[in-house]
Amino acid sequence: MTEFENNDERTELKQLGEFGLIDLLTKNIKLKNKSSIKGVGDDSAVIHHANKQTLVTKDLLVEGVHFDMTYMPLKHLGYKAAVVNISDILAMNGTPTQLIVGIAVSNRFSGEALEEIYEGIKLACEHYHVDLVGGDTVSSVSGLILSITAIGEADKADIIYRDGAKNGDLIFVSGNLGAAYMGLLVLEREKKAFEVDPNMQPDLDGNDYILERQLKPEARTDVLELLKKAGVKPTAMIDISDGLASEILHICQQSDLGCVLYEDKIPIDITTDGVAKEFQIDPTTCALNGGEDYELLFTINQSDYEKLKSIDEISVVGHMTEKSAGYHLVSRSGTQVPLIAQGWDAFLNKEKRNRQ
Amino acid sequence: MTEFENNDERTELKQLGEFGLIDLLTKNIKLKNKSSIKGVGDDSAVIHHANKQTLVTKDLLVEGVHFDMTYMPLKHLGYKAAVVNISDILAMNGTPTQLIVGIAVSNRFSGEALEEIYEGIKLACEHYHVDLVGGDTVSSVSGLILSITAIGEADKADIIYRDGAKNGDLIFVSGNLGAAYMGLLVLEREKKAFEVDPNMQPDLDGNDYILERQLKPEARTDVLELLKKAGVKPTAMIDISDGLASEILHICQQSDLGCVLYEDKIPIDITTDGVAKEFQIDPTTCALNGGEDYELLFTINQSDYEKLKSIDEISVVGHMTEKSAGYHLVSRSGTQVPLIAQGWDAFLNKEKRNRQ
């Protein structure tokens, strides 16, 4: 259960030095996308999205805030850090093309540990057909911080913003929600048990699905392809990193509209549901506020509904309303509950986790 | 001498929350560049460099490694973090166009402190005609980390890489070298004196120039303009962030050549020279290994020399040789000393500072 479990060797970062480390991490990187003109090894990466617009996004992942090294294997961490950024490019209806990796790391980590993180990042690059084109690796006083910049491309006409939803549009989500948060709670429970009795073995049986959603999330390229195939362009889109409630409120705010969600329509996996009840948490709360699902949330014109209704990977969860109607969830019993953006607040998440 | 000296008010980050903080920091940002299609407020920024190539670079600045809050005012820190990234775009002969700001910050900092950092970043954006188009602000367990991504554009034919130098090319640097490092040593000396006697006033008299080079460096847009005006396109270029020795070795390595530098040609400011001697350090060592100068280092074909020789802002410091001739500095006494990339190694700099 430590970050070094797969590493017999340990090369100190000081031995490698900054330049040695960059060589170690970036050797054998081959650029595959036509738009990647120059990768690692100059002052800047050079990219050419001929006749397309360029999308750029950045997310930071901080040890002790966004991840815990006790249960997050380094390779998974690298993979996840790449995926959460790739997901932001998809949420614009773009094609991810390049990544730039910033890592701040204390000397508690070895060269091999950094190689493991890079292995995960490179695996994500391969899976999502993205080139790793640059980075900056520096030392930190304590802990590990990953700052990844994802770059993508899209035809101007294809880009989907948050502000395009119209009154009456249907609200869809991909996949199911709340699973990643339940995975986190299971991992934290086992960590606490391990701290009390270091000889115990973690009890993760039957929870593979939610653990994978937490430790190795995927970005929904498949959903964008299904929409394209169906000939439907959403009017607004966002990825669900902070929970459904906070994300739909972003679309409402930016589109100057209200919304109604229906509790019984929110897709929740059976494992998520079971574990939530085990933890005495309302599964709907997990879907609304859990975060880290990296599913897509989008709105479509009602006239497009017929084209999408047979696609299993997506579900209608509500519709957009006039702004004056506010933001509501209709519960299973039929009562209207105001939607509040509790979200996955980086400044509060420790407390949130403990509170629930 | 604290990060809060200009702030009477203190708003806790928790009070603001992540979304409140983003609103606070990014309100009133206006996009000025035509290439900035969408800024803060969606999953990604959208950029359109019509008929140009896109340059992307990222540098991390870590508290306790790259800066010390004792003497680095927050506004200067924001400005410097922007400039070091803008400098990387210039080093490709590009025009900086956008910035994306990542900040990881502990709750030791207030909302007002973050506003100060953003003020500095915005000032740099204004000065260099760059748009702030996105960011991610998260909490850290301890300390402050700035991760800035700079984006620029250039015509394909204008981009200057590190690998284009030819045997016999002249090596130029802009401005003068070693000043930022001397500024750092003065600040660290005064910090130590202050720790011994908290009532003492820092003795910074006469050192304005080197302090400004350390605390508020500028990127050399003016030098690129002078070169353009003179009708000269360098064959290779890099910015000097790690010291002259390490940077020229990058050009040598990537261009598969050797080099000779002449000690008596290396431009060193009179204040740098005086303070180096005060610290009993060889001023040439500061220029070679001090780092953080953000001057430009470039090579030109000898036939272009006439066009540049009257430009005060740049100096010839040597020439490129065949690779087999190695990497040398010819000292004032005429002896050849091997050039070693000691550089501004992020994993060693604490020791380096103490050693010198």
pLDDT digits (tens, 9 = 90+) for A214-240: 999 999 999 999 999 999 999 999 999
Residues in chain B with CB shorter than 8 Å from the CB of A88 are: 43-44
Q: Judge: A100–B156 Cβ closer than 8 Å, yes or no.
A: no
Residues in chain A with CB shorter than 8 Å from the CB of B44 are: 55-57, 88-89, 91-92, 94, 150, 152
Residue type, A40: V
- Which pLDDT value is given to residue A335? 95
Domains of chain A, CATH where assigned: 13-158 (3.30.1330.10), 170-355 (3.90.650.10)
Q: CA A60, A31, B298, B156: dihedral to nearest 10 degrees?
A: -100
> Which of B177, B169, B150 is CA-nearest to residue B269?
B177
- Which pLDDT value is given to residue B348? 43
- Which pLDDT value is given to residue A201? 78
Q: How confident is the model at residue A246 (pLDDT cuts 50, 70, 90)?
A: very high
Three-state DSSP at B64 gives coil
* ipTM of the complex, rounded to two decimals: 0.90
Task: Please name the residue that has the structure tokens 């709105």.
Answer: A299
Tokens describing residue A264: 């019984």
- Please tell me the distance from the alpha carbon of residue B273 to that of residue B178, in angstroms, as a whole number: 9
Q: Chains A and B: how many Cβ contacts under 8 Å?
A: 236
Residue type, A147: S
Tokens describing residue B350: 């604490």
Would the pLDDT of A28 be above 90?
no
Three-state DSSP at B149 gives strand
DSSP H helices, chain A, are 13-26, 74-90, 111-127, 179-196, 208-215, 221-230, 244-255, 270-278, 283-289, 305-308, 349-355
Q: Judge: B348–A14 Cβ closer than 8 Å, yes or no.
A: yes
Q: Judge: A45–B60 Cβ closer than 8 Å, yes or no.
A: no
CA closest to A43 among chain B residues? B88
pLDDT digits (tens, 9 = 90+) for A164-196: 999 999 999 999 999 999 999 999 999 998 888
Please give the DSSP secondary-structure letter assigned to residue A42: S
Per-residue pLDDT of chain B (356 residues; tens, 9 = 90+): 444 345 467 998 888 877 788 888 998 899 999 999 999 999 999 999 999 999 999 999 999 999 999 999 999 999 999 999 999 999 999 999 999 999 999 989 999 999 999 999 999 999 999 999 998 888 898 899 999 999 999 999 999 999 999 999 999 999 999 999 999 999 999 999 888 888 887 777 889 999 999 999 999 999 999 999 999 999 999 999 999 999 999 999 999 999 999 999 999 999 999 999 999 999 999 999 999 999 999 999 999 999 999 999 999 999 999 999 999 999 999 999 999 876 545 444 443 433 33
Residues in chain B with CB shorter than 8 Å from the CB of A141 are: 62-65, 142-143
- Which pLDDT value is given to residue A343? 53
B59: nearest CB among A56, A136, A163: A136
Residues in chain B with CB shorter than 8 Å from the CB of A107 are: 347
> How near does any CA of chain A get to the CA of B334, in Å?
31
Residue type, B186: V
Three-state DSSP at B46 gives strand
Three-state DSSP at B139 gives strand
Average pLDDT, chain A: 91
